[in-house]
Amino acid sequence: MTQPDKIRVLIAEDHPLYRKGLRDLIQADSEFTLVGEVTDGEAVVAAALEKEPDLILMDLQMPGKSGIVATREIMSALPSTRILVITLFEDDDSVFSALRAGARGYVLKDADEGELLRAIHAIANGDSLFSPSIANRVLAFFAASRPVAPEIFPSLTERERDILALLARGRSNPQIAAELFLSPKTIANNLTNIFSKLQVADRSEAIIRARDAGLHQ
């Protein structure tokens, strides 16, 4: 029986003791293989481009380049890579800047080992996960957000309109998944429903319909 491929993990953390803790956690889990450790923002971008890991554990404050900038650059080049931020900072600016950059999860460094491991597995499997205090703010933010043009394509659900709007803006499936904190499989399923409801053959036709309706604005 063929063994499933292990999830390839890159650690970006400049504090040696915390980096060792992450290393031990990854190496003790049979689902993961550690492909590298770096200690600054420039190095994590270079290592990501070279090794193309499945998952990056990203500190926010590192020498050379912040974790937010590094996340943005990595997601631009490798949109299928999943990034979990592990940091001391829990202010709104740090949280939402990291999420806008493309991070799929945000966990504080005071999380216990079990919480941290659950977050790593969740992000590795294509989901999103946040420390409890962070999750409450993220949920409140999206609950307060206005829906995207509900009068356009009334047959679509709010989520389907959000996905279609991002599709019309040129986003790929992995980028849409990262921006909406959904799994790629969920995005693919929603796109199938969108194509059916709009009676279009493929994403190109869906993009034309959405842009003609102004949904990409």
Please report which confidence band the pLDDT of residue 152 belongs to, taking 50, 70 and 90 as the band edges: confident
The pair of structure tokens assigned to 140 is 């409140």
Domain 7-143 has CATH 3.40.50.2300: yes
pTM above 0.75, yes or no: no
Task: Look at residue 107 in the predicted model and tell me its pLDDT.
Answer: 94
53-72 pLDDT per residue, tens: 999 999 999 998 899 999 99
Say whether pLDDT at 2 is over 70. Answer: no
77-105 pLDDT per residue, tens: 999 999 999 999 888 888 888 888 899 99
CA distances from 197 to 34, 194, 202 (A): 44, 5, 12
The dihedral region occupied by 196, where left means phi > 0, alpha psi between -120 and 50, and beta the remainder, is: alpha
Instruction: Evaluate the CA torsion angle 114, 67, 44, 12 in order and state its sign.
Output: negative
CATH number assigned to the domain with residue range 158-212, chosen from the 4 options 1.10.10.10, 2.40.50.100, 3.40.50.620, 1.10.600.10? 1.10.10.10
Q: Closest Cα to residue 192, out of 204, 181, 201?
A: 201
Q: How many CB atoms lie within 10 A of CB 178?
A: 25
Task: Look at residue 145 in the predicted model and tell me its pLDDT.
Answer: 55
Q: Residue 131 is which amino acid?
A: S
Same fold, 7-143 and 158-212: no
- Choice between 54 and 141, residue whose per-residue pLDDT is larger: 54
Task: Look at residue 87 in the predicted model and tell me its pLDDT.
Answer: 93
Distance in angstroms (rounded) separating the CA atoms of residues 33 and 22: 12
Q: Residue 210 is which amino acid?
A: A
**Average pLDDT for residues 131-147, to the nearest whole number?**
71
Domain residues of the chain, as ranges? 7-143, 158-212
